[in-house]
């Protein structure tokens, strides 16, 4: 984040929402948005950067070559995923292109957001020192690994082993819970989520009001 936006005096109240793959981050974030929170989805921002005409395409082409840009002008996601999975240096190069752009775009989106408070959806929040410091409060969407596996197998048509490999590459459930200010348990259905959402939304509204710059 850039410091002009996130200096302590001017920082709006923000929630950093995270959780493992398939935990229900998007589902939960949308329920807060329905109640008036402004959502900023860092995954969607990262994705846009690598679509045709996206701000990262020229740098990715320069660093990795034409072979990583498909005929439409988007990053070839499958090829890049395989490449950075096998090569830590390549992963660092890609991150050094994407991370500053994600940061500046996130700051821009936050500046334009309208809502009672901000929710940043950050899948890898626990893995990022920066995010842990910047969000006013960290909300973890938690569920069992079995529930994650079942959801992602069903949603993406992946095998159990594929989902397990992604889970293994992310922070553990315990690591996430260790940094959480708030936890939403999402092992069941939407009905089980609603009382938890209502309670936290009321809390966030009151914290946003007492925050020095709580109005956006």
Touching ligand ATP, residues 193-212 (CB under 6 A): 193
d(Cα 149, Cα 83) in Å, to the nearest integer? Answer: 25
DSSP code, position 183: E
Contact call for residue 23 and ligand ATP (CB under 6 A): yes
Contact call for residue 176 and ligand ATP (CB under 6 A): no
Q: How far is the CB of 207 from ligand ATP (least distance, A)?
A: 24
Number of residues lying near ligand ATP (CB under 6 A): 15
DSSP code, position 37: P
Following DSSP, what letter does each residue of 143-161 receive, concatenated?
Answer: --HHHHHHHHHHHH---HH
Contact call for residue 12 and ligand ATP (CB under 6 A): no
Q: How far is the CB of 200 from ligand ATP (least distance, A)?
A: 15
Contact call for residue 123 and ligand ATP (CB under 6 A): yes
Contact call for residue 134 and ligand ATP (CB under 6 A): no
Contact call for residue 173 and ligand ATP (CB under 6 A): no
Residue span binding ligand ATP (CB under 6 A) among the ranges 24-32, 81-89, 110-118, 127-135:
24-32
d(Cα 203, Cα 152) in Å, to the nearest integer? Answer: 31
Closest CB to ligand ATP among 41 and 76?
Answer: 41
Which residues are within 8 A (CB) of 149 and not within 5 positions of it... i.e. 6 or more apart? 22, 160, 163, 164, 167
Residue span binding ligand ATP (CB under 6 A) among the ranges 3-11, 62-70, 106-114, 185-193:
185-193
Contact call for residue 125 and ligand ATP (CB under 6 A): no
**Sheet of 137-142: strands edge to edge?**
38-41, 118-121, 14-18, 137-142, 182-185
Closest CB to ligand ATP among 8 and 191?
Answer: 191
Q: Coil, helix or strand for 91? A: helix
Contact call for residue 25 and ligand ATP (CB under 6 A): yes
Q: Check: CB of residue 23 under 8 Å from CB of residue 152.
A: no
**49 φψ region: left (φ > 0), alpha (ψ -120 to 50), beta (else):** alpha
Contact call for residue 26 and ligand ATP (CB under 6 A): yes
- Whole-angstrom CA distances from 99 to 28, 49, 130, 215 are 25, 10, 11, 27
Q: How far is the CB of 27 from ligand ATP (least distance, A)?
A: 3
Per CB under 6 A, the list member of 88, 168, 189, 210 interacting with ligand ATP is 189
Contacts with ligand ATP, residue ranges (CB under 6 A): 19, 21-27, 123, 151, 155, 186, 189-190, 193
């Amino acid at each position: 984040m850039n410091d002009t936006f996130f200096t302590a005096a001017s920082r709006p109240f923000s929630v950093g929402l995270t959780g493992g793959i398939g935990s229900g981050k998007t589902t939960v974030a949308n329920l807060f948005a329905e109640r008036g929170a402004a959502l900023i989805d860092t995954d969607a921002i990262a994705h846009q950067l690598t679509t045709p005409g996206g701000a990262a395409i020229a740098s990715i082409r320069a660093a990795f070559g034409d072979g990583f840009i498909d005929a439409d002008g988007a990053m070839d996601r499958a090829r890049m995923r395989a490449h950075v999975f096998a090569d830590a240096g390549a992963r660092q190069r890609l991150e050094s292109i994407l991370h500053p752009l994600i940061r500046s775009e996130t700051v821009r989106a936050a500046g334009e957001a309208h809502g009672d408070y901000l929710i940043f959806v950050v899948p890898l929040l626990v893995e990022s020192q920066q995010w842990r410091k910047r969000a006013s409060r960290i909300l973890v969407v938690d569920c069992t690994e079995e529930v994650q596996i079942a959801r992602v197998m069903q949603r993406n048509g992946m095998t159990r082993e594929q989902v397990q490999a992604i889970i293994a590459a992310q922070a553990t459930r315990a690591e996430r819970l260790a940094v959480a200010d708030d936890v939403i348990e999402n092992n069941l259905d939407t009905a089980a989520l609603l009382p938890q959402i209502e309670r936290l939304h009321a809390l966030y509204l009151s914290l946003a009001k007492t925050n020095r710059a709580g109005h956006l």
